[in-house]
Amino acid sequence: MSRPPSPRQAGLRRRRVLGAAAAAGLGLRLQAVQAVSAVPSLAEIERQWARGRPVTEGRVTLEVPPLVENGNTVPVRVRVDCTMTGTDRVLELALFNEKNPQREVLQLAFGPACPRAQADARIRLATSQQLVALARLADGSQWSHHVDVVVTLAACIET
Amino acid sequence: MADTPTRVRTLIHGTDALKRGVPAELRVTLAHPMENGLRHDGWGNVVPRNLATRFECRLDDALVIAADLYPAIATNPYLAFWVRADGPGTLHFEWWGDNGFHHRESRAVAPA
Amino acid sequence: MRAAGRAAGRAMAAARRRRGRGGRARTGALVLVPLLAWAAAAQGQPAGAPAAAASAPDNRRSGLSYMGPALQAMQRDDGQNPGLLAVQDGAQLWRTPAGAAAKACADCHGDAARTMRGVAARYPAWDTAGGRALDLAGRVNACRVRHQQAPAWPVEQAELLALSAYLGLQSRGLPLAPPDDARLAPLRAQGQALWQQRLGQLNLACMHCHDQRAGRRLGGALIPQGHATGYPSYRLEWQGLGSLQRRLRGCVSGVRAEPWPADAPEWLALEAWLAQRAAGMPVETPAVRP
């Protein structure tokens, strides 16, 4: 059109241009932020661990007290139902959490001198959350156990 | 008080009660602060990260268990695991961590 | 009550900041609301009763029994108890020459397993030479100064805790046996009075939680009766070993009172009272507590 845009039209066009620019800029910034603070979710780290192969819930048991007196030290036991002979042995056992600053908790490898795929440890839990134990066996099968834990805190804040 | 050298303290239980060919549980504790590098002191300064990051137990040359330890492992890291000794030998317990931390202990075993 | 309310509001805000994000993690802040309700209800109630009379049933329970099975096992099993790291240190310190006199505890006292059996169970006790009462750590320090010519250690010094834990272990399982010594009576009476005295912005006495509400919950945490049978204790909240004074200090600051200085007589008075209150209960040192 030959007429110059009305102030309103100009304003609208300016806003569209600025909006597009902002969106583009925002998009770039968002990408940068994601790259820096990329702590994976529990689901993502399970996917990474699985290496594209199926994981079935079962055969591995993660024992955690359902109600934890203090998240600083939580006794846990992880065990896999297998004979530890031939291909029926655990190659690796991994423990991940949902809400700590970092997903990894413990990763275990069992050697030839180990007769039983079972280990106890003491872990820290920042808050009530889900834990998962993942086991990879020599026969290629992969197993998991998901457990929800409630964490209570000491009642009095010490100085 | 004479200067106490910085000795690495550990508790290792179960090496005396082994029986030939019978699986037995070992319990080991390492005295270590497992500082995750996210805490602050009373002045607002970050307490620097100082973690034990790996543990291995071997019976002579055979691996019993290897553990990668992360900040979610509690202070004074504790691990219980199983071993079977079919004859006399030596159990080796080894830890690695930040700031060049490395500690190794051995226990001779003579299963009955 | 209004002052307590404002203080509680500030404390709740501080608790929120300290605990950070996370829904359930704010249990600590939510604690203060029931605390205030209890404080209000507790006004005008009679003072808590002293240790159970001989004819009454013994309803005393150790803090051990309030913990879940996993933590109980952590205390009971020597292969799991992290307090034994310090006991190991204490055993070595017992044999190590110290001070200008270059003497080890063992030089005078020999094998602790034999000579120190039952000793920790009898503290706090009267120190005739010093003309005052001492707790076990005070006794160790008195020996250091007098016989080893070494400086006394501060109350939370790792070596002092290690030796106290080592000595406490020599009494583990034995009943707490506070001495039948009239010279300790004023100190115990002072301790009992402090136990029943309201403290801090929350205006609560020890007895309100540990006598009147033991077994109930403060936030998510079970309130124990507060028997000091296992000190020094490995406390999960500290992720380490600490003294009874440190635990008492935590409660005093927990009710928003200014803790007394480390060498104040109030701590020893409370310890002496607590030993009488728990008389006959087995020593558990080194205990594990949440």
- Helix or strand holding residue C151 (H, E): none
Catalytic residue numbers of C, as ranges: 251
pLDDT, tens digit (0-9, with 9 covering 90-100), for C229-256: 999 999 999 999 999 999 999 999 999 9
Residue B56 has pLDDT above 90, yes or no: yes
Average pLDDT value over all residues in chain C = 86
Q: Which residues from chain C sit within 8 angstroms of residue B76, using beta carbons?
A: 82, 85, 239
Bridge partners of A107? A94, B68
pLDDT at A5: 59
Residue B3: inside a domain, yes or no?
no
Print burial letters for B35-53: b (CB count within 10 Å at least 16), e (below 16). Answer: bbeeeeeeeeeeeeeebbb
Q: How many of the other CB atoms lie within 10 Å of CB of A141?
A: 17
Residue C84 has pLDDT above 70, yes or no: yes
> pLDDT grade, residue A69 (50/70/90)?
confident
Residue B4: inside a domain, yes or no?
no
What is the dihedral angle through the alpha carbons of C71, B107, C161, B5, rounded to the nearest 10 degrees?
-140
Residue C264: inside a domain, yes or no?
no
List the alpha helices (DSSP H) in chain A: 7-36, 42-50
Residue C128: inside a domain, yes or no?
yes
Distance CA(C47)–CA(C102), nearest Å, equals 51
pLDDT, tens digit (0-9, with 9 covering 90-100), for C182-210: 999 999 999 999 999 999 999 999 999 99
Q: Are A130 and A146 in contact (CB under 8 A)?
A: yes
Best CA proximity match to B4, nearest among A66, A13, C60, C88:
C88
Where residue A86 falls (left for φ over 0; alpha for ψ -120 to 50; beta otherwise) is left
B70 lies in which domain range?
10-109
The ipTM (two decimal places) reads: 0.91
Interchain proximity A114–B82, CB inside 8 Å = yes
Residue A131 has pLDDT above 90, yes or no: yes
C151 lies in which domain range?
83-169
Interchain proximity C97–B2, CB inside 8 Å = yes
Weakest-pLDDT range from A6-10, B35-39, C131-135, C190-194? A6-10
The structural domain count of chain B equals 1
Q: Are A42 and A95 in contact (CB under 8 A)?
A: no
Cis-peptide, bond into residue C46, ω within 30° of zero: no
User: Given A70, A127, A152, which is nearest C22 (Cβ)?
Assistant: A127
Interchain proximity C290–A156, CB inside 8 Å = no
Stretch C11-25: mean pLDDT, rounded?
Answer: 45
Q: How far is C52 from chain B (nearest CA, A)?
A: 39
pTM for the whole thing?
0.81
The structural domain count of chain C equals 1
CATH of the domain at B91: 2.60.40.10
> pLDDT grade, residue A20 (50/70/90)?
low
Best CA proximity match to A78, nearest among A107, A41, A115, A114:
A107
Residues 6+ apart with CB under 8 A from A54: A142
Domain A42-151 in CATH 3.30.465.10? The answer is no
Domain ranges within chain A, ordered by starting residue: 1-38, 42-151
Average pLDDT value over all residues in chain B = 93
CATH of the domain at C110: 1.10.760.10
Distance CA(B4)–CA(A159), nearest Å, equals 29
